[in-house]
Chain A
Amino acid sequence: MSETAVPRAGAPRRVALMITCLADMFYPEVGERIVRLLRRLGVEVTLPAGQTCCGLPLFNSGYHDEATAVARRTVQIFRDAEAVVVPSGSCAWMVKHEYPGLLRGTVEASDAERVAGRTWEFAQFLVRGLGRTAFESDVDGPLAYHDSCHLLRGLHEGESPRVLLRDLKGTSVVPLPGSDECCGFGGSFSVRLPEVSTSILERKLANLEASGARCLVACDAGCLMQIRGGLLRRGSALRALHLAEVLK
Chain B
Amino acid sequence: MTEPIVGTPLRQRAAQALGDRFLHEALDIATTKFITLRREAFDDFPEGERLRDRARAIKEATLQRLDEHLETLVANVERLGGHVHFATTAEEAREVVLDIARRTGARMAVKSKSMATEEIHLNDALEAIGVTPVETDLGEYIIQLAHERPSHIIAPAIHKTKGQVAELFSRELKRPGLPADPEVLTKIAREELREKFLTADLGITGANFAVAETGTVVLVTNEGNGRMATSLPRVHVAVMGVEKVIPSMTDLAVFLAILAKSATGQKLSVYTTLVQGPRRPGELEGPEEFHLVLLDNGRIAQIAGTLRESLYCLRCGACLNVCPVYRQIGGHAYGYTYPGPIGILLTAMLNGPGSVKELAHASSLCGACVDACPVRIDIPRMLIELRRQVDEEHIAPWTERVVFKTFARVLVHPALYRLGARIGRVLQRPFIREGRIRALPSFFGQWTKTRDLPPVAARTFQERWRDIP
Which positions in A face B, CB cutoff 8 Å?
19, 21, 23-28, 31-32, 35-36, 47, 49-53, 55, 57-64, 66-67, 69-70, 73, 149-150, 153-154, 180-182, 184-201, 203, 225-226, 228-230, 232-233
Contacts and interface: CB of A to CB of B under 8 A. Distances in A.
B424 A25 contact: yes
Contacts of A62: 360, 384-392, 396
- Interface residues of B, dominant DSSP: helix
The 8 closest A-B pairs by CB, nearest first: A186-B364, A62-B387, A229-B451, A66-B408, A62-B388, A182-B366, A28-B461, A153-B367
B79 interface: no
B450 interface: yes
A15 to B, nearest CB: 14
A167 B455 CA distance: 34
A53 to B, nearest CB: 5
Contact of B450 (A28, A53, A154, A233): A233
B294 to A, nearest CB: 33
A84 B328 CA distance: 37
B80 interface: no
A193 B14 contact: yes
Contact of A25 (B361, B411, B414, B421): B421
B460 interface: yes
A24 B460 contact: yes
A64 B386 CA distance: 12
B367 A233 contact: no
Contact of B10 (A25, A32, A193, A194): A193
Given A26-B457, A196-B325, A232-B436, 20 more contacts: A28-B457, A32-B464, A52-B410, A52-B412, A60-B384, A64-B388, A66-B411, A73-B411, A153-B367, A184-B324, A185-B364, A187-B364, A188-B361, A191-B444, A195-B15, A195-B18, A196-B362, A201-B451, A229-B451, A232-B451
Contacts of A73: 411-412
B404 interface: yes
Contact of A60 (B387, B396, B421): B387
A61 B453 CA distance: 22
Contact of B364 (A19, A67, A189): A189
A198 B364 CA distance: 12
Nearest to A32: B468
Contact of A194 (B404, B421, B449, B461): B449
A44 B410 CA distance: 30
Given A25-B421, A61-B404, A186-B366, A51 B412 contact: no
Contacts of A196: 14, 18, 325, 328-329, 362
Q: Which of B389, B408, B452, B457 has the most CB of A within 10 A?
A: B408
B271 interface: no
Contacts of A201: 450-451
B139 to A, nearest CB: 25
Interface in B440-465: 443-444, 446-447, 449-457, 459-462, 464-465
Contacts of A23: 461
Contacts of A35: 465, 468
Contacts of A150: 367
17 contacts: A25-B421, A25-B424, A47-B462, A51-B462, A62-B386, A66-B408, A73-B412, A150-B367, A153-B366, A186-B366, A190-B447, A191-B447, A194-B447, A200-B324, A201-B451, A228-B452, A229-B451
A199 B18 contact: yes
B40 to A, nearest CB: 16
A184 B424 CA distance: 25
B451 A233 contact: yes
B392 to A, nearest CB: 8
A52 B391 CA distance: 23
Contacts of A184: 324, 364
Given A53-B411, A153-B366, A196-B328, A27 B454 contact: yes
Nearest to A154: B367
Contacts of B424: 25
B431 interface: no
A133 B405 CA distance: 42
Interface string B341-382: 000000000000000000011111111101100000000000
A232 B114 CA distance: 47
Interface in B286-323: none
A196 B27 CA distance: 14
Contact of A233 (B368, B384, B452): B452
B371 A153 contact: yes
Nearest to A46: B465
A113 B390 CA distance: 29
Nearest to A73: B412
Contact of B404 (A24, A51, A63, A192): A63
Contact of A149 (B15, B365, B443): B365
A190 B18 CA distance: 15
Given A50-B414, A52-B417, A200-B325, A230 B451 contact: yes
B160 interface: no
A222 to B, nearest CB: 10
Contact of B361 (A192, A203, A228): A192
A62 B460 CA distance: 28
Given A58-B404, A193-B14, A25 B451 contact: no
Given A185-B364, A193-B11, A195-B18, A63 B454 contact: no
A185 B324 CA distance: 11
B417 A60 contact: no
A153 B412 contact: no
Contacts of B45: none
Contacts of A64: 388
A182 B469 CA distance: 36
A31 B461 contact: yes
A195 B457 contact: no
Contact of A200 (B328, B365, B414, B438): B328
Given A28-B464, A229-B447, A195 B365 contact: no
B407 A57 contact: yes
A181 B384 contact: no
B459 A28 contact: yes
Given A199-B18, A230-B451, A182 B443 contact: no
